[in-house]
A = this chain, B = another copy of it.
Amino acid sequence: MDAVRGHLDGLVLAVLATGPAHGYRLIDLLRERSGGFFELPEGSVYPALHRLERAGLIESGWSAEEGRRRRVYALTAGGRRAVDERRREWRSFSAAVDAIFGTGA
Which A residues are closer than 8 A to B by beta carbons? 2-7, 10-11, 14-15, 17-18, 30, 33-35, 37-38, 83-84, 86-87, 89-90, 92-102, 104-105
| Cβ–Cβ < 8 Å partners of A86 in chain B | 101
B97 touches A94 (CB 8 A): yes
Check if B34 sits within 8 Å of A99, measured CB to CB.
Answer: yes
Q: How many copies does the complex hold?
A: 2
CB-defined contacts of A94 to chain B, threshold 8 Å = 94, 97-98
Beyond A84-B105, A105-B84, whether A100 also contacts B5 by CB under 8 A is: no
User: B104 and A37: CB pair below 8 A?
Assistant: no
Are the CB atoms of B3 and A100 closer together than 8 Å? no
Residues of B within 8 A of A89 (CB): 3
Bound-complex Cα distance A34 to B17 (A): 30
- In the complex, the answer to whether A101 meets B35 with C-beta atoms within 8 Å is no
